[in-house]
Amino acid sequence: MSASKIHYRKEGRQQHTGSQRYVCRACNKAFSINTDPAKGQNKRDINGIIFRLLVNKMPLLRICEVADISMPTLYKKIDFFYEQCRLFAGAQERRLTDLRINRLQISVDRQEYMLNWTDTNDKRNSRIHALGSADNRTGFVFGMHLNIDPDAKKTDIEAAAKACGDYEKRPAFREHARYWLEPDYEQSRQRKRKPAGENKKLLDSIDESYEDTDLRDDVESFEMMTSTVKLPASGVLLHGEYTMYGHFLFLKKLLPNIEKIRFYIEKESGIRAACLAAFQDDIWRKRCDAFYVKINKEMTIAQKNVAMAKGRRELDEFRRTDTKLEELSDYSLRAFMLEEALNTGAFHLSATYLDKWYLYPAPSKNEPEKAVSWLTDLGDNAYSNFHLAKLMLRASLHGIDRFFMQVRRRISLLERPIKTSSSTGRTWYGYSPYCPDHVVKVLEMLRVYHNYVHATAGVKRRKLKEGETKRKPGEVKKTFTTPAMRIGLMPGKLALDEIFAFAPE
């Protein structure tokens, strides 16, 4: 008998609330425990439609109008949705520690959001960043972590920092080193920075990013405050490098039994340092590899089409160099082209860090100009050039970029800005939030919806038997699966009501 059964016994349920009733075996006093997570939720029958409206870019005021509820009621429901999503995701994703998965190809990047000003006399925006990671194969998003502590109070942190002498100490020796203090903000505004360039070639932009890193006092700190940016009015901003290290240590704890992990990360020295530090032991044991991926995201449609045509010509020219290559697929050709570049040393060398960058042959239209650098080369020739070429061939940020696109398209609070003709660099965001707490909540809601509820179309192909060259009509079936199903966490698509009713044991 468990300890709880020794001291208590069950005795029915409450008539009106349905809560479980217990009786103490020692004193015979009865009490009840609420087992309904939605207790106190008015109009709970419309929770599902309100949730779907929130993750389908409906502005908050319009949701109140459609659902016939007040704004305070909507905020209460958002709090309830967030808490249930957090509890449900936590319970499910702890099981990732026990899953035996052969390979994960995890893309990592960050996305910036703006908060509206709260004072018309001070129209400076506040910037916050989210670092996200997703599996490229299944689309499962492991986390979206923001560099903000929404529960901390700026006045309390500043007062505590002054009291303990943090203002006079170097950042690494402060008690409150993770927070952006007023001296940090003023110092960052005076920091030298390179002017932003436009329409640069990919390799030139890579060199420029290294030069920009060298100008930093701390190479891992990417945040730059300007005269048009201020610290958030509520909550306390965290230095981005703390969020990065926390994110990778979170992944390290979450994925202990994965046979091989390949990280494909955006070109950012802070992300690189956090990844290599958190997975140092796994890198030495050849369980983990990391690659920089740099993509030219500033290209117009016309430039993308030109790049695609150029890549196709290069692919066809390489195919004609040997008759043995004529029957190979484009994927195999790219692998051989990368192998040839590795064999001949056809790379672009960064001046300061000596990173070797290889141009990706004939990339897709989503990533029309791309370069890759292997960050975990230990010099022991553990991989053949052909094997390394295949790893580089998988280099992509499409897993996390696809989710970032969903954030912009599905969350009205986080849509891209509407430019105005006011002061330079100041932007009004029509539907953007004033409070960073709302950003934390809607991001987690969308992540859970994306991972467990929203099923996307795919195809299931029967394996070809020996001697078969193609499948018969009708043998390719369309399937609808969620990222949680594809990664092995869930057997099927989840209903929102199951999340709303979830109660941890």
User: What pairs with residue 31 in β-bridges?
Assistant: 22
pLDDT higher than threshold 80 for residue 93: yes
pLDDT at 197 over 90: no
Annotated domain spans of the chain? 1-35, 107-147+181-230+239-410
DSSP string, 293-332: EEE-TT--HHHHHHHHHHHHHHHHHHHTT-GGGTTS-HHH
- Indicate whether 334 pLDDT > 90: no
Report the distance separating Cα 505 and Cα 497, nearest Å: 18
What are the counts of helices (DSSP H) followed by strands (DSSP E) for the chain?
Answer: 17, 15
The DSSP-derived string for 379-442 is: SS--S-HHHHHHHHHT---HHHHHHHHHHHHH-GGGPPPB--SSSTT--B-TT--S-HHHHHHH
pLDDT reported for residue 41: 64
The neighbouring-strand residues paired with 428 are 418
Asked which of 154-163, 202-211, 235-244 is least confident by mean pLDDT, the reply is 202-211
Does residue 502 register a pLDDT over 80? yes
Strand partners, 210: none
Confidence of residue 424 (pLDDT cuts 50, 70, 90): very low
CA distance linking residue 33 with residue 22, whole number of Å: 8
What pLDDT is recorded for position 247? Answer: 95
pLDDT value of residue 177: 87
Average pLDDT over residues 400-413: 92
CA-to-CA dists, residue 163 to 149, 160, 166, 231, 446, angstroms: 21, 5, 8, 21, 40
Query: What number is the average pLDDT over the span 354-371?
Result: 86
| Confidence band, pLDDT 50/70/90 cuts, at residue 376 | very high
In this predicted structure, what is the pLDDT of residue 81? 94
pLDDT at 1 over 80: no
- Judged by average pLDDT, the poorest of 29-38, 153-162, 401-410 is 29-38
- 464-476 mean pLDDT: 67
Quickly state the pLDDT bin for 423 (edges 50, 70, 90): very low
Per-residue pLDDT tens over the stretch 13-59: 776 556 778 888 888 888 776 656 666 666 778 899 999 999 998 98
What does residue 17 show for φ and ψ, rounded to 5 degrees? -95, -20
Query: pLDDT higher for 88 or 351?
Result: 88
pLDDT of residue 64: 92
pLDDT band, residue 475 (cuts 50/70/90): low
Residue-wise pLDDT tens digits, 222-259: 777 776 777 777 888 888 899 999 999 999 999 998 99
**Helix, strand, or coil (residue 149):** strand
Q: Given this model, what pLDDT does residue 274 score? A: 94
Nearest partner of 503 among 10, 20, 101, judged by Cα: 20
